[in-house]
């Protein structure tokens, strides 16, 4: 038996027993998928990112992104933007019982966000970071967290100084993705940058990047001293990763990977949740990418992906998935 190296994570007045966080991913970590990851042992949830300007102007696309369920508590809403006043006002607007924390996105690398001066573009402007975090932390009564990357091409970003600014401005925790904006999701995450942030601040630091197994989770903890682990792409089509990491850290035993029947069962359950929350038309179409992730590496998965892209109803998906285990 080994002692559990993952100690409870305390963010403000919230204690998270299993400090494994599901990273917010647009188009992926909606409510149905968060519920599945929660059941598998993820301790901290976050919505897909929500535009503060979208909330301010009453964009109808914002509300579905904020759907929550009591079973996933604690859950944070992640907002993004670059106007301190709007960010503060919209943080106050969502400072309600649906969310236990509020998170600010300062890491999104996609051009649509960056070209508006939002997401990881904020790393270029430490003064603006201070203004935003100060406004938001002063407008809410819940713990505030911030997610950052470690750099932005062509600019002398010092992630340690940015982390100190975020701490000084009222944040209760910081999540650090050990990649620059230019890297997107390629190459290797710089865990040493996460370590330097951890050594520089007193608030909890959540490490993010390249954790795709129990061994990597332990390695990240040992090399950085971080207080929690955030998992993104490795959880796509793989909600079991949270259970596997928790189990290995408690017992030193590796759980067997799910077999075909377990994968099919999870896919169909995921699809039923999608339909419950979004209706069959949208739910089934959104399942197509999830099925591709779930079945990656299985025999004939390329053919399966082609076929699932033609599926339009749950009955068709069920028939296709059942053929995998027959």
CB < 8 Å & 24+ apart, contacts of 186-195: 190/150, 191/220, 191/223, 191/224, 192/223, 192/224, 193/150, 193/159, 194/150, 194/220, 194/224, 194/226, 195/223, 195/224, 195/225, 195/226
- CATH T-level topology, domain 260-325: 1.10.1200
Give φ, ψ of 256 to 5 degrees: -65, 145
**Residue ranges of the chain that CATH labels 1.10.1200.80:** 260-325
The reported pTM is: 0.94
d(CA 228, CA 16): 10
What residues are paired with 44 via a beta bridge?
21
**Is domain 9-251 in CATH 3.20.20.70, yes or no?**
yes
Residues whose CB falls within 8 Å of the CB of residue 260, separated by 6 or more in sequence, listed in order: 298, 324, 325
Tens-digit pLDDT string for the chain (326 aa): 334 477 999 999 999 999 999 999 999 999 999 999 999 999 999 999 999 999 999 999 899 999 999 999 999 999 999 999 999 999 999 998 899 999 999 999 999 999 999 999 999 999 999 999 999 999 999 999 999 999 998 898 899 999 999 999 999 999 999 999 999 888 899 999 999 999 999 999 999 999 999 999 999 999 999 999 999 999 999 999 999 999 999 999 999 999 999 999 999 999 999 999 999 999 999 999 999 999 998 887 888 889 999 999 999 999 999 888 76
Q: Does the CA dihedral 2-3-8-9 come out positive or negative?
A: negative
* Whether the bond into 225 is cis, omega within 30 of 0: no
Nearest residue to 90 (alpha-carbon basis) of 98, 106, 100, 102: 102
d(CA 321, CA 140): 46
**Residue ranges of the chain that CATH labels 3.20.20.70:** 9-251
Catalytic sites, residue numbers: 108
**Length of the chain in terms of residues written:** 326
């Amino acid at each position: 038996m080994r002692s559990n190296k993952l100690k409870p994570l305390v963010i403000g007045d919230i204690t998270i027993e299993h400090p494994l966080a599901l990273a917010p991913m647009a188009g992926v970590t909606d409510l149905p998928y968060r519920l599945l990851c929660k059941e598998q042992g993820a301790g901290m949830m976050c919505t897909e990112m929500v535009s503060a300007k979208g909330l301010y102007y009453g964009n109808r696309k914002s509300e579905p992104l904020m759907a929550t369920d009591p079973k996933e508590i604690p859950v944070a809403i992640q907002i993004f933007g670059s106007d301190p006043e709007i960010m503060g006002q919209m943080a106050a607007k969502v400072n309600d019982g649906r969310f236990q924390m509020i998170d600010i996105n300062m890491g999104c690398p996609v051009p649509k966000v960056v070209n508006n001066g939002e997401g990881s573009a904020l790393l270029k402007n430490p003064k603006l970071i201070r203004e935003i975090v100060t406004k938001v932390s002063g407008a809410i009564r819940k713990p505030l967290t911030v997610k950052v990357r470690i750099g932005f091409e062509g600019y002398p970003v010092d992630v340690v100084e940015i982390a100190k600014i975020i701490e000084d401005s009222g944040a209760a925790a910081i999540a650090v993705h050990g990649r620059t904006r230019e890297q997107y999701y390629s190459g290797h995450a710089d865990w040493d940058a996460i370590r330097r942030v951890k050594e520089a601040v007193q608030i909890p630091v959540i490490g993010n990047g390249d954790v795709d197994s129990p061994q990597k989770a332990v390695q990240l903890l040992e090399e950085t001293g971080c207080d929690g682990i955030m998992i993104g792409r490795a959880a796509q089509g793989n909600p079991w990763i949270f259970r596997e990491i928790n189990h290995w850290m408690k017992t030193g035993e590796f759980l067997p990977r799910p077999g075909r029947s377990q994968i099919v069962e999870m896919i169909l359950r995921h699809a039923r949740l999608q339909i419950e929350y979004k209706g069959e038309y949208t739910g089934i179409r959104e399942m197509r990418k999830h099925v591709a992730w779930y079945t990656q590496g299985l025999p004939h998965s390329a053919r399966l992906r082609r076929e699932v892209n033609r599926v339009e109803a749950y009955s068709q998906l069920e028939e296709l998935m059942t053929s995998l285990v027959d």
